[in-house]
Every structure is written in C-alpha cells, then in structure tokens.
Amino acid sequence: MDSQVSFCSTSTAFCFVFFSFTLLFSLFSLLVFVLRSKLWCNCETCQAYLTSSWIREFDNLCDWYTHLLKKSTTGTIHIHVIGNIITANPVNVEHVLKNRFENYPKGKPFSNLLGDLLGRGIFNVDGDSWKFQRKMASLELGGVSVRAHAFDIVKSEIQSRLLPLLSSVAGKEQVLDLQDVFRRFSFDNICKFSFGLDPGCLKLSLPASEFAEAFDLASKFSAQRGQAYSPLLWKVKRLLNLGTEKQLKEAIKVLDEFAQEMIDQRRKEGFSGRNDLLSRFMSTIHDDKYLRDIVISFLLAGRDTVASGLTSFFWLLTQHPEVESAIRDELERVVGSSDEQFASFNQMREMHYLHAALYESLRLFPPVQFDSKFAQEDDILPDGTFLRKGTRVTYHPYAMGRMEQVWGSDCLEFKPERWLKNEKYIPQDLYKFPVFQAGKRVCLGKEIAVVEMKCVVLAVIKRFKIQVPGLNQAPRFVPGLTATLRGGLPVLFQEREA
Ligand code: HEM
C-alpha cells in the first residue's frame, strides 16, 4: 500500500514537473517568436498588412506586393511584421539562387509546412538528402527514354481523353471549365509517369477520384498553414487534431495507403521492365516511406503547375486571336496540312513562335507566383538590403513579369515577339525569368512540362475554336501553392471546319 502511495506521488510529481516544463518551454518559444517577429511595426506597409487594408485596392496579395515592388527604388521590400524580404530584382535573385545558394536553403519553417505531406521528398529537403535525390532524379529525368515515355503518355491522354471530351461538348453551348479539365489531364499524366497508374480523371464522365481529392485537400491545407499569422496556431491545431489539421491528416492517410499499395504491387509484380519513376527508384531505394515521399513530391511538382500554365495560356489565346492564328500558321508551315495529330519532338523544336508565346504566357502568369528561402547567416543582398540570419527571402516571378525595370515599358502586354529575333527564339537572362526557378535547384521537369503544354496547345487549337462566354475579366487568383483561377476558366468549344 505504502509503495503504491509513494508511486502515485512520484508519478504526480513527475507529471507536474513535465507539465511545468512544457508550459515554460511554450512560453519561452512564444517570447522568442514575439521578439524576433517585430509584431509592433508601425510602418505604412506593415499596418496595411496587419489590418488587411490593401484588400480595398487589390484582388490578392501578389498584386499588392507587385504594386509595392514597382514603387521601390531597389525592387525589394520588407514586411517587418512577418520577417519577410521580398525581391523582384534579378541581381538579388541570382545572388540567392546561385551565388550564395548554400546560405539560402528552403529552411525548417518551409519544410515544416509541407513536412506531413511531402516527408523527405526532394521538394522539401536541403543538404545531403536533397543532393542525393537531385542526382538520382536528374539521371532518371535526363535520359532520352524517360522523355520519350512522358511524350507517349501525354499524346495518349490527348488522343484518347482530351480531344473526345472537347468534341463531346463542341457546338453545344455547353460550358466547360478548362481549368478543371487541365487539372484532371495533368493529374492523369503525372500519375502515369510517377506511379505507372492511370487514375482516369479525364474520362468522359469526369469521374471523382478519391486519390485526386485527397491530394487536392492535402495540398490546400498544407498551403493554408503558410497563411497562419504564426506557425504556433497550426501546430496547436495539429496537436489537438482539430479542423483543417484533422482533415489534412485524413487526406494524407489516403495518400499513404494508396502509395503503399502501389509499392507492394510493384514489389509483387516486379519493377525491372517498367518505365515509371516509382519502378526506376525502387531499384536503388529500399525504404518504403522514402519511396512514397519521393514520388508524392513529383506529383505535387508536376500536376498543378502544368494545369496552371495551360489555363493561363488558353485564357491569353482567347484574348489574342492574332497570337493563336500565328501559332496555327507556324504549325502548318512546319508540319504541313497533313492529318497527323501530333508534331514530333524535332518539329516542335522548329516552332520558335510557339515557344516564345508559351514563355510570354509564363512570364505574365507564372504557375509558381513566388518562392521563399531562409537566410542561414546574416547577409547583404547586391542591392544593399541587409538580411538577418533566419529571415525569409522571397523572389517573386509574378511581380518580376510586371516590372518596367525588368521587362521595359511594355511589360504588361502579351507580346511573344519580345522573345524573338529574326523569327528565332532568343533565351533571356534566367534570373529575370525564374519561372522554373534557376540556379542549382532549377525545376527538373521543365523540358517535360514545356513539351506537354505545347502538345496540348497544338492539338486543341488545330481542331477547335475557343471562346470565353460573358465578361472577359482579367484572371483573379486564389491563394495557394500554385496559381489557380478563382471560378475556373469557363469556355465554349466549336469544331473548326476541315
Ligand atoms: C509549368 C510547369 C512547371 C513549373 C512552372 C515548375 C516550376 C518549378 C519551380 C518554381 C520549382 C522550384 C520549387 C522550389 O524549390 O520551391 C520546381 C522544382 C521542381 N520541379 Fe518543376 N515546374 C513545372 C513542372 C514540373 C514537372 C512536370 C515536373 C516533373 C515531371 C517537375 C519536377 C520538379 C522537381 C522534381 C523539382 C524539385 C527540384 C529541386 O528541388 O532540386 N516540375 N519546379
């Protein structure tokens, strides 16, 4: 009995000490957060941020930041209350992404946001783990066979799903949300490419897919963590398994089960003769959780980005029929007026105007509108801005596309010609167009994505006329990891006469 009483009192004392320690630690963390975050800044920008008064004039945060960056003499601004330095200055971008790359990792704050969804996948790690995956993925994605495989997947999805779907609504006054269509299209493609699995999202009935829905929810709720005023808020919600954190957990469980099923199936059936990324990685990596993380990162990287790029490009084409008709002329010049549905790789390489038009669209509407790193040590950017260790620095492709200092006085115009000289495509400085990032972490799927988007544009405009019914408003975006149009892109299709 005595020993029971003494055990109870020992355990009560232990609980008390543990609880006190946790409380003290939380209070200390909160104090450090408050001291570091400069929550009391009274400058005009921080007040507008804190009171959200910018909403009166601008549709979204990106447009407000663009406005501030345009006014800044250095092309850099500082939102003190959230410790974020934002730059649209190409020299700073080169400094962060290339010259002082080692000092600007993605950092813990970012990897915490996406950690539950992406785990240790390439998108979410720094240092040796990143180097290992980058090397392995570059070897896989750099090969001719994998690109040819990606090209085959895309052609088949266009031929067997996209064109029949558009044809089924053509001439019927039936409005189709093109953004939704492209999200389904790119999800089918990236799943086939990454997992060797066809979710069939773009079938004629436009079916719901549990996996696609879980993936959407998981990306959305992970992105929402980044909008919380303090990371403590979502961390407490996660600890207590409440609200969106509970939904995020459930969505991730669906993804985990699905990935595990795929891995088990591959292991049973054998993966040596298969082309998908999962099978390719399975021969070098034997840890199932790591495999899952790597492949889920690819899904995130390659799905919404391509859909977003296509949606904006088609919106621009509906506003600029002269560009659409120049692309059709080029197609006819290079491929001839044969019935061949697809241009070959080499033929596409000859289409300089198409390439220029696509890059011009990405310049104005980058799928990843901004991206952040965290300074590991104090630093001074080339424009003189001082950065304290731990500060978040954001480069902003969306704002950069709208800066006269970067693209000249006609920067707001959609002008493919700015990329051409004597009808040949001329590459621009990578750091004034970091749409695929640039430097050591440049996008690994760039070539695949560009070919995918070109294939869709050529196949669709060759056969259909596209029209946006109702008012043609400028695109308005919802907050998230990738640029997404509020309300989608409703369009009408009509078959062209043969
Ligand atoms: C228009 C389409 C695309 C755009 C605009 C785009 C843009 C980007 C950007 C901005 C990053 C840097 C992200 C960051 O570090 O936070 C990135 C990284 C990456 N992208 Fe893409 N991407 C596209 C399509 C794709 C596709 C189709 C794939 C896969 C097949 C892919 C694979 C990757 C991978 C693996 C990384 C990580 C590279 C690293 O961290 O070293 N991307 N992409």
| Statement: the pTM of the whole predicted model exceeds 0.85 | yes
| CA–centroid distance, residue 319 to ligand 1 (Å) | 28
Ligand 1 atom closest to the CA of 186, numbered from 1: 27
CA angle 417, 312, 448 (to 5 degrees): 80
Q: Tens digit of pLDDT for each residue in 321-330?
A: 999 999 999 9
Q: Which residues form the pocket of ligand 1, taking CB atoms under 6 Å from any ligand atom? A: 122-123, 134, 137, 298, 301-302, 305-306, 309, 367-368, 371, 435-437, 441, 443-445, 448-449
Q: Whose CA is nearest to atom 12 of ligand 1?
A: 437
Q: Tens digit of pLDDT for each residue in 8-45?
A: 566 666 656 656 665 665 555 555 555 555 667 889 99
Q: Which residues contact 129 (CB under 8 A, 6 or more apart)?
A: 120
**Contact status, residue 337 vs residue 350, Cβ threshold 8 Å:** no
Q: Tens digit of pLDDT for each residue in 59-102?
A: 889 999 999 999 999 999 999 988 899 999 999 999 999 999 99
Distance in angstroms (rounded) separating the CA atoms of residues 88 and 118: 28
Q: Which residues contact 494 (CB under 8 A, 6 or more apart)?
A: 170, 171, 464, 465, 467
Residue whose C-alpha is closest to residue 117's, from 233, 194, 221, 195: 221
Report the residue among 299, 372, 443 best suited for mutation to probe ligand 1: largest number of ligand atoms under 8 A from its CB.
443
Q: How long, in residues, is the chain?
A: 498
Is 116 strand, coil or helix? helix
Report the residue among 305, 370, 441 best suited for mutation to probe ligand 1: largest number of ligand atoms under 8 A from its CB.
305
| CA–centroid distance, residue 135 to ligand 1 (Å) | 15
Residue list, annotated binding site:
443
Distance in angstroms (rounded) separating the CA atoms of residues 186 and 189: 5
Distance in angstroms (rounded) separating the CA atoms of residues 49 and 68: 12
Q: Whose CA is nearest to atom 16 of ligand 1?
A: 371
Distance in angstroms (rounded) separating the CA atoms of residues 402 and 369: 12
**Domain coordinates of the chain in residue numbers?**
45-495
Output the CATH code of domain 45-495.
1.10.630.10
| CA–centroid distance, residue 442 to ligand 1 (Å) | 7
Q: How large is the average pLDDT for residues 234-260?
A: 94
| CA–centroid distance, residue 445 to ligand 1 (Å) | 6
**Contact status, residue 297 vs residue 290, Cβ threshold 8 Å:** no
Q: Residue holding tokens 């980005």?
A: 305
The per-residue pLDDT for 13 is 65
Q: Whose CA is nearest to atom 8 of ligand 1?
A: 436
**Contact status, residue 295 vs residue 277, Cβ threshold 8 Å:** yes
Neighbours of 487 (CB within 10 A): 11
Residue list, annotated binding site for heme:
443
User: pLDDT band for position 364 (50/70/90)?
Assistant: very high
The per-residue pLDDT for 474 is 82
Q: Where are the alpha helices (DSSP H) in 72-197?
A: 90-94, 107-118, 127-142, 144-157, 163-169, 178-195
CA angle 193, 482, 252 (to 5 degrees): 65
Neighbours of 281 (CB within 10 A): 20
Q: Residue holding tokens 């954001």?
A: 394
Structure-model confidence comparison of residues 241 and 139, the more confident one:
241
The per-residue pLDDT for 35 is 55
Q: Whose CA is nearest to atom 19 of ligand 1?
A: 443
CA angle 465, 317, 151 (to 5 degrees): 85
Ligand 1 atom closest to the CA of 303, numbered from 1: 27
Residue whose C-alpha is closest to residue 397's, from 73, 111, 65, 104: 65
**What residues does 392 pair with on adjacent strands?**
84, 374
Distance in angstroms (rounded) separating the CA atoms of residues 369 and 172: 35
Residue whose C-alpha is closest to residue 186's, from 150, 214, 222, 219: 150
Residue whose C-alpha is closest to residue 197's, from 342, 282, 299, 284: 299
| CA–centroid distance, residue 449 to ligand 1 (Å) | 9
The per-residue pLDDT for 465 is 96
Q: Whose CA is nearest to atom 3 of ligand 1?
A: 305
Q: Whose CA is nearest to atom 9 of ligand 1?
A: 436
Ligand 1 atom closest to the CA of 372, numbered from 1: 16
Q: Whose CA is nearest to atom 11 of ligand 1?
A: 443
Ligand 1 atom closest to the CA of 297, numbered from 1: 35
User: pLDDT band for position 1 (50/70/90)?
Assistant: very low
Mean pLDDT, the chain, whole residue set:
90
The per-residue pLDDT for 355 is 98
Q: How large is the average pLDDT for residues 448-466?
A: 96
Q: Residue holding tokens 């002329």?
A: 329
CA angle 329, 335, 337 (to 5 degrees): 70
Q: What is the DSSP letter of 242?
A: -
| CA–centroid distance, residue 453 to ligand 1 (Å) | 14
Q: Whose CA is nearest to atom 35 of ligand 1?
A: 444
Residue whose C-alpha is closest to residue 186's, from 345, 291, 358, 301: 301
What would the two tokens of residue 6 be? Answer: 């003494």
What is the share, in percent, of the chain residues with pLDDT greater than 70? Answer: 91
Distance in angstroms (rounded) separating the CA atoms of residues 414 and 408: 13
